[in-house]
Amino acid sequence: MLEYPKFLVKSIFPTKVWPHPVIGLQPERLYWYMDALWQRRDLSGAVVEIGCHRGGTAATAFSMLKRTGHLKRYVCIDTFSGFVTSQFDRDQEHGTPSASRRFFTDNSEGIVRRLLNHYGCEEIELIPGDIASIDEALLPEAISVCLLDVDLDVPTYDGLKRVYPRLAEGGMILVDDCPEKTTWAGARPAYRRFCDELDLPVRFEMGMGIVERPRGISSRRTRIDGISSGPETRPA
Ligand SMILES: C[S@@+](CC[C@H](N)C(=O)[O-])C[C@H]1O[C@@H](n2cnc3c(N)ncnc32)[C@H](O)[C@@H]1O
C-alpha cells in the first residue's frame, strides 16, 4: 500500500517537495555519465535514460548539454511506478533484499513532468512503460548515449537488447549498479550475459557496465533475438 497522504502531498506539490533536481547516481558515476555525454556531444542520436525516477539526473545532464550549446533530444523511459512485480521476483533469486521491492513506487509521470518543467527542462520527453515490453517504435531510431538504470536483471538485459541495435557509431551505453558487491544483485549478471551472448568486451568503470559501438561499426544489421539490427563492419 502506498502511504496515500504523503503521496497526495507529493502529487499536488512536487516542486515544493523537490525544488531542486535530486540525482540518483553516485557522484563518480554521475561524473562518468556527464563525461560520456560531453565526449559524444557532436554525435547525432538521442540521449536516452531508462529508469529516470524523478528526473534529477536527466535535468542535470540535459541542462549541461543545453547550456553548452549541444541541445539534443533527451528521452526518459520509466514505469513511473517502480518495479514490475515479476521482474523483482527474479532478482530476489539473485539475492536482492525484498525490502527494496517497493522502492520508487511513490511517483507518476505527472510528478516528473511538473518537476522537469520547474527545472527548465520542458524539452525532455517522457515515455511511460516497462522497457522489457514497451512498443519499440517509441524508442528513438538512433541513440548516442544511454544511461540504463533500472536496477534489476530482466529490464537491464531487455533494455540492452533494445537499445544496442540503435546505438550510433561511437555511442555508449552505461549500465548502473554493476559493482562486484551491491544489494542490487541483478544488473551485473544481466550486463555480463548480454556481453557474452554478443561477444562484446566486458568493461566496468566506476561500478557501471560499459557497452560501446566503435566507430567504423554501423548499426542496424545484426539480429538480436528477432531484433533485426546490430553491428556490421564497414569498409574503410
Ligand atoms: C535507481 S532509479 C533511477 C534513478 C535515475 N537514473 C537517477 O539517476 O536519478 C530506478 C528507476 O527504474 C525504474 N524501473 C524499474 N524497472 C523498470 C522497467 N522494467 N522499465 C522501466 N523503468 C523501470 C523505476 O521506476 C525507477 O524509477
Mean pLDDT of 15-41: 97
Range with the poorest average pLDDT among 37-41, 61-65, 117-121, 230-234: 230-234
Q: Please give the pLDDT value at position 224.
A: 53
Task: Indicate if the pLDDT at residue 171 is higher than 60.
Answer: yes
Q: What is the pLDDT of residues 77-94, one digit of tens each?
A: 999 999 999 999 999 988
Task: Indicate if the pLDDT at residue 1 is higher than 90.
Answer: no
Mean pLDDT of 113-137: 98
Q: Which of 52, 109, 157 to mutate to test the pocket of ligand 1 (most atoms within 8 A of CB)?
A: 52
Residue 126's Cβ-count burial label (10 Å; 0-12, 13-18, 19+) is middle
- Asked whether 149 lines ligand 1 (CB < 6 A), one says yes
Q: Is the dihedral of CA 137, 222, 143, 55 positive or negative?
A: positive
User: What is the residue range of 91's domain?
Assistant: 4-233
**Interval between CA 232 and ligand 1 midpoint (Å):** 31
Find the CATH number of the domain harbouring 52.
3.40.50.150
What total number of domains does the chain contain? 1
Q: Which of 53, 96, 106, 177 to mutate to test the pocket of ligand 1 (most atoms within 8 A of CB)?
A: 53
Q: Which long-range contacts (CB under 8 A, 24 or more apart) does 224-232 make?
A: 224/161, 224/164, 224/165, 224/198, 225/161, 227/136, 227/161, 227/162, 227/165, 228/165, 229/165, 229/166, 230/164, 230/165, 230/198
- Asked whether 131 lines ligand 1 (CB < 6 A), one says yes
Tell me the pLDDT of the chain averaged across its residues.
91
Q: Is 222 left (phi over 0), alpha (psi -120 to 50) or beta?
A: beta
- Asked whether 24 lines ligand 1 (CB < 6 A), one says yes
Q: Which of 36, 39, 34, 40 is nearest to 64 (CA)?
A: 34
Q: What percent of the chain has pLDDT over 90?
A: 83
- One-character DSSP codes across the chain: ---HHHHHHHHH-HHHH-SS----S-HHHHHHHHHHHHHTTTS-SEEEEE--TTSHHHHHHHHHHHHTT----EEEEE-SS---HHHHHHHHHHT--GGGTTTT-S--HHHHHHHHHHTT-TT-EEEES-TTTS-GGGS-S-EEEEEE---SHHHHHHHHHHHGGGEEEEEEEEESS-SSS-S--SHHHHHHHHHHHHTPPP-EETTEEEEE--TTEESS-SEETTEE---EEPP-
Task: Indicate if the pLDDT at residue 55 is higher than 70.
Answer: yes
Question: Counting atoms of ligand 1 from 1, which one is nearest the CA of 49?
Answer: 6
